[in-house]
Amino acid sequence: MTTDVTVDDFLTGVIAGCRTKGFRTISLREDRFNQNIKASFDKLASLADSLDLDVRFAVFLDPLHRDSPVIERAVTTAVQRKLVSLDNPEFVNMRIKLDPEAAAKLLDDLPGGADLYRKLADVFVSEAPQEAAASQ
């Protein structure tokens, strides 16, 4: 039997995975965030069958704006759930409000398990150019 994975599960996992790796903020500047999230999503999609996961969303980047409305809504939900805050005045830095222990616990409870989301966080961070998309 497959287990559903929602966009909120996915983004929560990437955020918590980054936090367990020591990152405190994630930059939403320019196209990097969306490109890195898309790379993490592609990794999730490639692993889903082998992990018996049913990915219930898709991430597509708008060809003109290079963003993803699905991910933008998930970021809003993460703010509402108090997983992150968006720093003023530009709202382009997402501050992770979880401590590393809470992040690790959260990862254990997500569909696919902690190892999956740590891999997705690795992809997210490794896709960053010289200036890291996530910072410690």
Following CA atoms 125, 63, 65, 21 in sequence, which dihedral angle do they give, to the nearest 10 degrees? -10
Asked whether 57 and 10 are in contact (CB, 8 A), the reply is yes
Tokens 């999956």 belong to residue: 116
Predicted confidence (pLDDT) per residue in 14-50, tens digit: 999 999 999 999 988 867 899 999 999 999 999 999 9
Whole-model pTM: value is: 0.91
SS3 assignment, position 95 = strand
Radius of gyration of the chain (CA): 14
For the chain, the maximum distance between any two Cα atoms, rounded to a whole number of angstroms, is 46
